[in-house]
């Protein structure tokens, strides 16, 4: 007999009651369930701990002092795990992974987030352009990089003063460095 299911069904019981229903010695199994935190024992009564309604709490702290030297690669991994995997579709996850693996991480991955500047973004653009990257892929790479930096600020992983936007200003198919709008131009 599955003692855990029986305990869950009864919710509260004494040792005699459960042994009478199970028709066997269940003390060892009850001790195992108590060790796992599934049962509590008080005043001779066992209580099954329902995990369905159990509220778990977490303590959040500002880790800025500990993470101020965090690299873009580390922030990207956190972004993918905590945000993208929870809120994006499989195709988006695949695209973001490819962009990070082939474009962003090789160029800026070892750079500390707090040290990323508008000059680094311009250099990133130039390197990608020299590689012969398509305009759409380049625009998407810059947009993802911007999204990661904003996520980093919002989640207080590290400070960065690099604020930029990637916009389509004129012809839909043409993309150039002039389409990246840095904070000082806004």
pLDDT of residue 123: 92
Residue 50 confidence class, pLDDT cut points 50, 70, 90: low
In the chain, what is the straight-line distance between the N-terminal and C-terminal CA atoms, in Å? 70
Chain centre to alpha carbon of residue 52: 24
The span from the CA of 122 to the CA of 96, in Å, is: 20
What token pair was written down for 137? 């892929």
Residue 170 confidence class, pLDDT cut points 50, 70, 90: low
Could you give the 3-state DSSP secondary structure of residue 12? strand
* Percent of the chain's residues with pLDDT above 90: 29
What token pair was written down for 82? 């905590």
The span from the CA of 112 to the CA of 149, in Å, is: 11
* pLDDT tens readout for residues 96-137: 999 999 999 999 999 999 899 889 999 999 999 899 988 888
User: Counting Cβ atoms within 10 Å, is residue 158 exposed (0-12), middle (13-18) or buried (19+)?
Assistant: buried
> Do residues 84 and 56 make contact, with C-beta atoms less than 8 angstroms apart?
no
DSSP one-letter string for 131-159: TT--HHHHHHHHHHHHHHHHHHHHTTS--
Sign of CA dihedral 27, 31, 33, 39: positive
pLDDT of residue 95: 94
* pLDDT tens readout for residues 54-92: 445 554 445 444 456 899 999 999 999 988 988 889 999
Helix H or strand E segment including 39: strand 39-42
The percent helix, strand, coil of the chain (3-state, each to 5) is 55, 10, 35
């Amino acid at each position: 007999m599955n003692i855990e299911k029986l305990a869950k069904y009864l919710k509260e019981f004494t040792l005699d009651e459960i042994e009478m229903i199970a028709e066997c010695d269940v003390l060892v199994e009850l001790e195992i369930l108590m060790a796992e935190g599934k049962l509590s024992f008080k005043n001779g009564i066992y209580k099954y701990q329902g995990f369905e309604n159990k509220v778990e709490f977490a303590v959040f702290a500002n880790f800025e002092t500990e993470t101020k030297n965090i690299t873009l690669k580390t922030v990207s991994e956190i972004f993918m795990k905590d945000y993208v995997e929870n809120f994006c579709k499989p195709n988006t996850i695949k695209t973001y992974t490819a962009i990070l693996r082939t474009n962003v991480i090789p160029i800026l991955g070892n750079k500390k987030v707090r040290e990323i500047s508008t000059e680094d973004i311009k250099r990133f653009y130039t390197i990608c352009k020299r590689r012969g990257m398509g305009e759409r892929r380049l625009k998407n790479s810059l947009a993802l990089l911007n999204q990661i930096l904003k996520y980093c600020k919002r989640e207080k992983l590290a400070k960065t003063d690099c604020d930029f936007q990637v916009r389509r200003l004129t012809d839909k198919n043409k993309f150039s460095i002039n389409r990246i709008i840095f904070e000082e131009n806004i």
